[in-house]
Amino acid sequence: MPEQTLVVVESPAKAKSIAKMLGAGFEVKASKGHVADLPERDLGVDVAHDFTPAYEVKKDKKPIVDELKRAARGKRVLIATDPDREGEAIGWHVARLLGLNPGDPLRVEFHEITPRVVREAVRKPRPIDQSLVDAQQARRVLDRLVGYQLSPVLSMEFRRRALSAGRVQSVALRLIVEREQAIEAFVPQEYWTLEGQFESEAARFKAMLYSIGKERVQQGEKFLITHADQAQEIARRIRGVPAYRIASIERRERKRNPAAPFTTSTLQQAASSRMGWTASRTMRVAQRLYEGVDLPEGTVGLITYMRTDSVRVSQEALDEVRKLIPDRFGNGYLPEKPNFYSTKKAANAQDAHEAIRPTSTLRAPEGLRKHLEDDEYKLYTLIWQRFVASQMTPALFDQTTVTVEGGEFTFRAVGSVLKFDGFLKVYGREEGDDAENLLPPLRENAPATLLDLQSEQHFTEPPPRYSDASLIKVMEEMGIGRPSTYAPTIDTLERRQYLERHNKSLRPTPLGREVIAYLTKTFPDVVAYEFTAQMEARLDEIEEGKAQWPKVVREFYDPFLKDYAKVPQKLCPVCGRPLELKVSRFGQFLGCTGYPECKYTERLEVKKAPEPIGEECPQCHQGQLVRRYGRYGSFISCSRYPECNYTRDESPSTGIECPKCHAGEIVQRISKRGKPYYRCNHCDFLSFDKVLESKCPLCGWNEIQKGKDKTACSNPACERYGGPDLQALNERRAERTSKAKDRGSKARGKSAAAKKAAKEPAGPPATWADLEPLIATVGLPADQAEMARRTQGAQSAVPAAAKALGLDEAAALKLFRQALFKLRMEYGRSRKPTRAKPKAAKAAATWKDLEPFLSKAKLPPQEAEVARRTQGQQKAVPQVAKELGLPEDQTLTLFRKAMFKIRMEYGKAKKEPVGA
């Protein structure tokens, strides 16, 4: 082994941990994620040549790549990016940029970051797995083809910035929208239950009406008793039965087995249901536990790799946990043989990894408490408990079913008592588990007396809204997405304001509904459940080496392209060419594809006119209140703005009186990042946590929700205050404002001074003596020239001139202003110093000049093909359109785009203006 070895990982935290474990002879550097990707402003995919991607080093990663190149000189290089297909692709890019052969043994994997595993891994490098790289490459190309072409369509359709669509995110949004539609369409069904209290041989118990004759009271979604009159009639008949008896007593032991150790999706579900965490929060904390925590024994990763579909566990981990269980809990909690689990959807599972488990079960959570942050401790505890519980004995329940009969009526009571806690000793019960119900000792065939009968009205409930946990569960069951995509998908939908959170539930916004309605109609395959699941399966086949990635991409892209071609184009009102979405330093806008010949542009976001709401302004009592639309939503203001500056929030009220001013109400607002916060609609009260109705026992202000079961006070002056440090927050805001002003003043720099200097030499305004000689030079129309002469440049003379010429005074004033404007413009031009004549333009570039720049322009395949066939001649467009089977206007657009980009490259090379 060479004396020095460079190990490349993804994150700085991971690099720090591994450097401590490897010691001398090793240098560990971080790539900080992806170092190369498709270009930001171009498609970057050559569709005509098997979707060949054109990768480039990201601008912010060039210093990192340069640093890696310097560090790699004269050293052996090992690439230890994350052990999944995304990590494999990052490693492939690093090898390519460092000039290494991916077929050489240079790839190492750390499924857990512990000294033993890390040292063993660096001794056994392997070549980069090209199948994994191809699978990730196919996913990236697919996402680019969809996002790059579909997102502008959405932005133009809905006239909104920053809209996006994607293979997985659009399907996830469709699930949420359809669930909301199902809830709205749901019609509650009334039904009634009857519960009797019985006594048998001095033992009292309750039982529910189970059947009448041979008809069940409830069977699935069918109910026998559906209205109050029917319930009362049945209750009357039940009370009229002369005698009841205990017809049967059935006793059996019920076994509840432990669940498998965590996969990515089940970890996100458990963290959501038990702790109320979002999927992204869960993965952030899990990443820190995987990358390493400083302990007295050194820096150690506490859990195995957290992006996995597998429930497999290594033999070493099994041996360790099977030794721990009897030592800590007793022999009765250890099964005779280890518990083995199988992945539910074996066809789509990535079984290359282990399940998520502690790297050592001997590191109990309570022993690590002082070394971990709160979130890290909570999540590690959950993972440790789940893994240990998975290798324990089942929980046992004694279940008793008692059947009471009388006449045509049958009642049933079910009792369940925990007999042996088994794995529940560690993992505890889940939310929603049935509570224990102990029945008294009863004897079969013994008589029973009905003491009381209660009827209760119920209504069927609509399907629940998705939470992070239930959405991830459904996506996993349907085969949509993979472990690494669940959290980013939900985050993207929330960031794009397609959904909003209400406690744990996810609701679609009106924008989310409109987008799905449009996509379902226009691009049905993009949001089709089966099609998306099939694509995920095909991507797995690429990973297994069973399919070629360009062929799989083609299977998706061809149907998508047919749908894309049917989308009607918005046309330029000036020249009739199609409009396209463009980006400037001020954001997105619509521009003509004929630029620079046609320079038509228009705003992307159409400004909405104020909408009257039928209320008088309470501040000035003169204007009417109107609804206006700002950057962060709608608000109410006075129609007389800016004379009257009255405004108020138009936000959902919580119905809670403001504890500060006692005049306004607390309303919920949404920040520009899509996060809810709470403020008063009358004063400056603000809270980033949910304001509760309960009062602080110390100061009387309202309490705020902190976490799942904790509350704090909203009063900054109270010792129970749980909000942010307002003084520090204001200081940071002031500092940011000051820095922004400094940057602005520096940016203006010389240009501001130049503008000032340009204004200073302005002399006195022109007199009539200065302007009169220019009447002939300007070439004013006769009526404007006559008006200028009669008034001699004085507006006060307009009424007399109008009377003399027999004109309306308003028309005369218009002629005066037009004439004086033109004369003053000409006077200003005559006073400017004469500029040097520009150099004569060189001859326009020929196709022979331009053809070498075809490849440098990085044209999309269709533009490149049109440029080649026309050889830069616009008159050849109709013939080329016919050859390619494209509409002539579309071919002309492609021609103009291509020639513009090629000429720009030619101009950059020549460092001079390019001929038309």
Q: 55, 290, 305, 906: which one is catalytic?
A: 305
Residue 664 is predicted with a pLDDT of 84
Q: Are 487 and 452 within one domain?
A: no
Is 719 or 376 the better-scoring residue by pLDDT? 376
Catalytic site includes residue 305: yes
Q: Are 389 and 274 within one domain?
A: yes
611 beta partners: 627
In a domain, 148, yes or no: no
* Residue 702: CA count within 13 A, CB half-sphere: 24
* Residue 888: CA count within 13 A, CB half-sphere: 8
Q: Are 418 and 520 within one domain?
A: no
Q: Are 11 and 121 within one domain?
A: yes
Token pair 């790289």 in the structure block, residue: 133
Round to whole Å and give the CA distance between 78 and 71: 12
Residue 665 is predicted with a pLDDT of 86
Structure confidence by residue, pLDDT tens digits, 79-120: 999 888 889 999 999 999 999 999 999 999 998 888 889 999
Closest by alpha carbon to 118, among 348, 305, 383? 305
Residue 743 is predicted with a pLDDT of 63
pLDDT at residue 347 tops 50: no
Amino acid at site 810: A
Residue 746 is predicted with a pLDDT of 59
Structure confidence by residue, pLDDT tens digits, 828-865: 877 766 555 555 545 667 888 888 887 777 788 888 88
Among 16-25, 388-397, 556-565, the range with the most confident prediction by mean pLDDT is 388-397
Residue 862 is predicted with a pLDDT of 83
Listed in order, strand segments (DSSP E) in 812-882 are: none
Structure confidence by residue, pLDDT tens digits, 607-644: 778 889 888 998 899 899 998 877 656 788 999 888 89
The helix/strand/coil state of 467 is strand
Amino acid at site 862: Q
pLDDT band of residue 913 (cuts 50, 70, 90) is: very low
Residue 359: how many CB atoms within 10 A of its CB?
21
User: Mean pLDDT throughout 340-346?
Assistant: 69
Is 833 or 192 the better-scoring residue by pLDDT? 192
pLDDT at residue 350 tops 90: no
In a domain, 719, yes or no: no
pLDDT band of residue 447 (cuts 50, 70, 90) is: very high
Round to whole Å and give the CA distance between 519 and 662: 47
668 beta partners: 678
In a domain, 761, yes or no: no
pLDDT band of residue 319 (cuts 50, 70, 90) is: very high
Residue 835 is predicted with a pLDDT of 53
In a domain, 745, yes or no: no
Q: Are 434 and 513 within one domain?
A: no
pLDDT at residue 673 tops 80: no
Q: Of 276-290, 440-454, 545-559, 656-670, give the lowest mean pLDDT range.
A: 656-670
Residue range of the domain that includes 888: 847-910
Round to whole Å and give the CA distance between 341 and 356: 13
What backbone phi and psi angles, to 5 degrees, belong to 371? -100, -5
Token pair 């009424």 in the structure block, residue: 799
Round to whole Å and give the CA distance between 394 and 409: 37
Q: Are 235 and 352 within one domain?
A: no
Question: Domain boundary at 345, 372, 393, which?
Answer: 393
User: How is residue 766 written in tokens?
Assistant: 């022109």
User: How is residue 319 written in tokens?
Assistant: 């041996």
Closest by alpha carbon to 511, among 498, 496, 492? 498
Residue 208 is predicted with a pLDDT of 96
User: What's the total number of domains in the chain?
Assistant: 6
In a domain, 296, yes or no: yes
In a domain, 206, yes or no: yes
Residue 433 is predicted with a pLDDT of 60
In a domain, 885, yes or no: yes
Q: Are 167 and 197 within one domain?
A: no
In a domain, 374, yes or no: yes
Give Dmax over CA atoms of the chain in angstroms.
126
Among 422-436, 462-476, 800-814, the range with the most confident prediction by mean pLDDT is 462-476
Closest by alpha carbon to 702, among 753, 667, 666? 666
Residue 76 is predicted with a pLDDT of 92
Q: Are 34 and 20 within one domain?
A: yes
Contact 692, 711 (CB under 8 A): yes
Q: Are 24 and 114 within one domain?
A: yes
Contact 702, 693 (CB under 8 A): yes
Q: Are 500 and 470 within one domain?
A: yes
Q: Are 791 and 864 within one domain?
A: no
User: How is residue 669 written in tokens?
Assistant: 């607002």
Round to whole Å and give the CA distance between 600 and 899: 19
Q: Of 7-21, 291-305, 646-660, 788-802, give the lowest mean pLDDT range.
A: 646-660
pLDDT band of residue 698 (cuts 50, 70, 90) is: confident
pLDDT band of residue 903 (cuts 50, 70, 90) is: confident
User: How is residue 72 written in tokens?
Assistant: 């790699």
What backbone phi and psi angles, to 5 degrees, belong to 251? -115, 135
User: How is residue 537 written in tokens?
Assistant: 């399966």
Nearest-10 crossing angle of helices 486-495, 264-275: 50
Residue 344 is predicted with a pLDDT of 57
Residue 338 is predicted with a pLDDT of 93
Task: Check whether the bond before 642 is cis (ω within 30° of 0).
Answer: yes
Q: Of 281-285, 325-329, 771-775, give the lowest mean pLDDT range.
A: 771-775
pTM of the model: 0.67
Round to whole Å and give the CA distance between 900 and 898: 5
Question: Domain boundary at 393, 415, 432, which?
Answer: 393
Apex 796 CA angle, 791 and 799, nearest 5: 75
Element (H, E) at 157: helix 130-158
User: Mean pLDDT throughout 589-599?
Assistant: 89
Whichever domain contains 275, its CATH number is 1.10.290.10
Amino acid at site 460: T
What backbone phi and psi angles, to 5 degrees, belong to 363? -85, 85
pLDDT at residue 285 tops 50: yes
Burial of 44 (0-12, 13-18, 19+ CB in 10 A): buried
> Would strands 702-706 and 447-459 be described as parallel, antiparallel, or unpaired?
unpaired
pLDDT at residue 230 tops 70: yes
pLDDT at residue 170 tops 60: yes
Residue 435 is predicted with a pLDDT of 60
Contact 261, 460 (CB under 8 A): no
pLDDT band of residue 255 (cuts 50, 70, 90) is: very high
Whichever domain contains 46, its CATH number is 3.40.50.140
Residue 375 is predicted with a pLDDT of 93
Burial of 445 (0-12, 13-18, 19+ CB in 10 A): exposed
pLDDT mean across residues, the chain: 86
Residue 708 is predicted with a pLDDT of 63
- Measured in whole angstroms, the distance separating CA 863 from the mean position of its chain's CA atoms is 33
pLDDT at residue 762 tops 60: no
The helix/strand/coil state of 430 is coil
User: How is residue 707 written in tokens?
Assistant: 């976490």
Q: Are 401 and 493 within one domain?
A: no
Contact 65, 34 (CB under 8 A): no
Whichever domain contains 556, its CATH number is 1.10.460.10
DSSP 224-246: S--SHHHHHHHHHHHHT---EEE
Residue 880 is predicted with a pLDDT of 86
Round to whole Å and give the CA distance between 607 and 154: 18
pLDDT band of residue 166 (cuts 50, 70, 90) is: confident
Structure confidence by residue, pLDDT tens digits, 807-816: 888 888 888 8
Round to whole Å and give the CA distance between 386 and 378: 12
pLDDT at residue 750 tops 70: no
